[in-house]
Structure 1
Amino acid sequence: MQPVTIGIAGWALPRADADLFPPSSFGSNLARYAAVFDAVEINSSFYRPHKPETYARWADNVPAGFRFAVKLPKSITHEKRLQDIEAELDQFATEAGALGDKLGWILVQTPPSLRFDPAAVAALFAGLGERFGTEPGDGKRGRLRLACEARHGSWFDDEATALLSKMDVIRVVADPPAGEPGPFVATSEDAAYVRLHGSPQIYRSVYEPERLAQVAAWLRPRGDQALVIFDNTMSGTQVRQAAQLRQMLTSSPDIAP
């Protein structure tokens, strides 16, 4: 089984971790980052659009096999709340589609106040599938995956779970979860998307080795269909912790999930 994919939210390189990356003469910060990690999560797309040329340039800065996870714009999820979003989806597809086959995941994060609406949710993921050519259930490594980090409890009932499963949407494991999500039930048997925001203090907390070992044990059987992103970027430890988790995943398991 291939290893779990590990990355960071963004490719800022902490000065304290400079020794883990090639020197600045190697190229851009993204190129240096991609020499160490196999994936990165782009959150800036949530706040503002990026030109197709920008995405294309990013794709050119990373090697074959590197993949981007791109967060869906808040104009779709938070402002229009999944209603009348055809134009916004078209724009996003034109922009992020410039990543080509290096686009690995589209991350949909909904606000804590947004209740599950089956018609709207089905239309959203069908619309993304049509624009990006996702094929639910084909089981091919490297294909684009859709992931959802919902934060209202209604997104975790049986109806929501069944719909996300049918549409092959990965339910994100978020630590800590925001809003009032319900009990976690996986919606994909062969894939996982884990976002480690830092707990208990979001973005700032450092994960203890014991907690990372638990995460590693949960991820290990999922192999190359699992992505874990360290989003505790204000802690300054995200790079070291990602490297620590990777080391744990390549060693023998010692803590049960």
Structure 2
Amino acid sequence: MGEHFPTTGTHLERYARVLPAVEINSSFYRPHRPGTYARWRDSVPETFRFAVKVPKVITHELRLRDAREPLERFLGEAGHLEAKLGCLLVQLPPSLQHERETARAFFQSLRERTAVDVVCEPRHRTWFTDEARQVLDCTPAGATRQGLEKARAWPRDTSPSSAARTLGSGQKVLAEDTVPFAVWCAARHLDSFEEALWCTVAGFGDRDTTCAMAGGIVALSAGRSSIPAKWLSAREPLRRRV
């Protein structure tokens, strides 16, 4: 892969000359100074975009409750990316069940403080209900919502490559370019984890991201038993982060 990247500049500068976007995952574990975000902003082209992960203190420790102070602090820091802040990723812990009022209050508070696109990654099956969708539907329309509307109407008997050309398959590494296609693939094979992932892979693009999304949805819908035994046995151990 090295031959595809320039040899001069920082890692980010070299990366940004080839790829159009990146996720800042470290913000989940620790805060970054405004100056750090500003330096990253000034290191990339105007069209480059950052997806920034919401801190775990908000999602995993406070579990979306009473999070005003850390949320405002985080938004104040990440806001120094300015127009290059593409979206915020709210990844919820697998044990966090959907509670209507908690979810409504948090996402309303988030929307009041920023107009940036928000991507929510719930991992407990209670979030995949009509009631939960109604809460998330309170978020104003944006590019990701428009993509999901296209995905809802896109025929399920068409090829994944055709769907990917219209819905996007992650080449831009943005929410609107990954979520609609991943949801379309999952909806097409809600009872088969393996078929859902092969469908997603056929769209090419950022397959790590889209397969993680589609696989998570189908696993919650069809259960662990839908995952092939040989895939489960081939899992790589995850090192515990401190």
TM category (shorter chain) comes to 0.5 to 0.7
Decide which of 167, 176, 180 is 2:139's aligned counterpart: 167
Encode CA deviations 1:192-211: one digit per residue, 9 max, x unaligned: 9xxxxxxxxxxxxxxxxxxx
Q: Bigger radius of gyration, 1 or 2?
A: 2
CA offsets per residue over residues 43-87 of structure 1, 9 Å max, x none? 110011111111110000000011000000000010011111010
Equivalent runs, 1:129-208 vs 2, <5 Å: 129-132=111-114, 134=115, 144-168=116-140, 188-190=145-147
Verify the 8 A CA contact 1:42 1:68 in the aligned structure 2. Answer: yes
Match of 2:53 in 1: 71
Structure 1 match to 2:2:
18
Instruction: Give 2:88's aligned residue.
Output: 106
1:6-64 CA-to-partner distances (Å, cap 9, x unmatched) read: xxxxxxxxxxx1111111x2x11101101111110111100111111111100000000
Distance in 1 separating the partners of 2:206 and 2:128: 33
1:220 counterpart residue number: 165
- Larger proportion of helix: 2
Determine what percentage of the aligned residue pairs are the same residue. 47
Distance 1:149 1:102 in 2: 22
Partners of 1:125 and 1:112 lie apart in 2 by: 18
Number of corresponding residues: 169
AA paired with 2:96? L
What residue is the counterpart of 2:78 in the other structure? 96
Instruction: From 25, 31, 37, give the equivalent of 1:43.
Output: 25
The SS at the match of 1:190 is helix
Kindly indicate whether the alpha-carbon contact (under 8 Å) linking 2:111 and 2:139 is maintained by their aligned counterparts in 1: no
Change (3 A) 1:87 1:215: farther
Residue number among 44, 49, 52 corresponding to 1:62 in the alignment: 44
Cα distance change, pair 122–247 in 1 and its aligned pair in 2 (3 A): closer
1:161 Cα deviation from its structure 2 partner? 1.2
Question: How far apart in 2 are the matches of 1:217 and 1:67?
Answer: 25
Unaligned runs of 5+ in 1: 1-16, 135-143, 171-186, 193-213, 229-241, 249-257
Larger proportion of strand: 1
Secondary structure (helix, strand or coil) at the match of 1:167 reads: coil
CA positional deviation for 1:227:
3.7
**How many Å separate the matches in 2 of 1:226 and 1:191?**
10
CA distance in 1, matches of 2:206, 2:95: 38
- Structure 2 length-normalised TM: 0.63
Question: Cα distance, 1:169 vs. partner?
Answer: 8.2
Tell me the TM-score normalised to structure 1 length. Answer: 0.60
Give 1:117 deviation, angstroms. 1.4
Q: Say which SS state the counterpart of residue 81 (structure 1) adopts.
A: coil
Please provide the CA RMSD for this pair: 2.8
Q: After the TM superposition, which segments of 4 or more aligned residues of structure 1 sit over 4 Å from their partners?
A: 214-217
Cα separation, 2, equivalents of 1:71 and 1:189: 22
Once the two structures are TM-superposed, the CA of residue 217 in structure 1 deviates from its matched residue by 4.3
SS in 2 for 1:108: strand
Higher RCO (Cα < 8 Å, 6 or more apart)? 1
Cα pair 1:219 1:226 within 8 Å, conserved: no
The DSSP-based 3-state class of the residue aligned with 2:87 is: strand
